Amino acid sequence: MYQQNEEDIFVIDAHVHLWDATEENIKHEGGEEFIQCFYDYHTTFTPEERQWDMDEYRKYGADRMVADLFGDAAADMGIFQPTYLTDFYAEGFNTTEQNAALATEYPERFVLNGTFDPRDGDQGLEYLEELHENYEIPGVKLYTAEWRGDSKGWRLDDEEAFEFLEKCSELGIENIHAHKGPTIRPLNRDAFDVADVDDAASSFPELNFVVEHVGLPRLDDFCWIAAQENNVYGGLAVAAPFAQNRPGKFSEIMSELLWWLGEERVLFGSDYALWNPDWLVEEVMEAELTQEHRAEYGVEWDLETKKKVMGENAADLYDIDIEAKRQAFQDDEISQQFGLEDHYAGEEPAAADD
């Protein structure tokens, strides 16, 4: 747990990936363009001394992921958000099955989400049922700009998509994470437009719609939708690293989100391995709103707000008992591996707090 002002803050990284973008796995030029674009985002927003080389970035593996997320207690838990891209990558870029190997090894540390694509029709509905049966997935990650044959995207408010949302409701898959943010080469920007969240959220009030990347660059559109739909949440992946090299922009984004949505509907996510929580958590935790933004919006990025955004809000959505986790982590395998037993027992800080 991150510590600030002698207070513990349980961090749930609500947006992590374990991907394979090796040249051997790429079957379409779009796969190479995609990972190169990811790497551009990585280098633009990562401190120079923390940047990875491209070979490691293509496929970093489970051991590195566990160390980066949990080795210095920067994050306490992670939520897998799959991204299949099977038209670009022979075995997929980051599938539920690939993520499941690590989530199964450390079930106390990871939450495993699935996905659906309405273009898959009845076969896709069957696959969604299989994911739920095999892994008891509590959520799905949706990528509306993914290419599939001649199709270059789909909409969340399509009739076909509603069939899948109905199936989610029926199965108790309550958390719908939709990528609604910056485009990635060669995908189409308009296919990531946040507008289709509005009707979906209105039509399925029993589901929680987490808009990943808070709609950037369409932040205003997202905020106006979220203001009228109380089952719409904002995921900070992509917005979070602005704290490092664009602190004024981060202050603006957070002020808008806290003013429109309140402190209980915003979730931290690193988008690992786009960015690494071993430095990003500290940047976000130590960031400040500008005096002008505090005065204009009447909001604060204070300790209680940070506790909610960094972990408690995700815990509420995923029925995670933070105190029970804290107790369990005093002697779980990861704490033993990285010498964190005393940290979770409250006897000493971890490296992330230095």
DSSP 53-120: PHHHHH--HHHHHHHHHHTTSS-SEEEE--B--TTTBTT-SB-HHHHHHHHHHSTTTEEE-B---GGG
3-class DSSP assignment, residue 7: strand
pLDDT at 351: 55
* Strands (E) located in 182-269: 208-212, 232-235, 266-267
Q: By C-alpha distance, which of 120, 116, 162 is closest to 143?
A: 116
Question: pLDDT value at position 3?
Answer: 79
Cβ atoms of residues 211 and 185 within 8 Å: no
The CATH number assigned to the domain holding 118 equals 3.20.20.140
Scanning the structure block, which residue is given the tokens 């379409």?
28
In the chain, which residues have pLDDT < 70? Answer: 347-354
Query: What's the total number of domains in the chain?
Result: 1
In Å, the largest CA–CA distance within the chain is 58
> CA–CA separation, 284 vs 287, rounded Å?
5
From the number of C-beta atoms within 10 Å of its C-beta (0-12, 13-18, 19+), residue 212 rates as buried
- The full length of the chain comes to 354
- CA dist., res. 48 & res. 281, Å (int): 17
Those residues whose C-beta lies under 8 Å from the C-beta of residue 4, and which sit 6 or more positions away, are 285, 303, 306, 353
Q: Say if CB 67 and CB 74 are below 8 A apart.
A: no
The two three-digit tokens of residue 179, written as one number? 């990528």
Q: Taking the complete model, does pTM exceed 0.85, yes or no?
A: yes
pLDDT of residue 131: 98
Would you state the pLDDT for residue 156? 98
- Report the alpha-carbon angle 82-197-97, nearest 5: 15
Task: Decide: 78 and 280 in contact? Cβ < 8 Å.
Answer: no
Cα–Cα separations (whole angstroms), residue 142 to 71, 95, 192, 276: 29, 12, 10, 22
Cβ-in-10-Å burial (0-12, 13-18, 19+) of 347 comes to: exposed
User: If you write DSSP's letter for every residue of 117-173 in order, what string do you get?
Assistant: -GGGHHHHHHHHHHHHHHH---EEEE-TT--BTTB----TTSHHHHHHHHHHHHHT-
**pLDDT number for residue 7:** 85
pLDDT of residue 170: 98
Domain extent at residue 314: 2-353
Q: Which of 209, 268, 283 is nearest to 238 (CA)?
A: 268
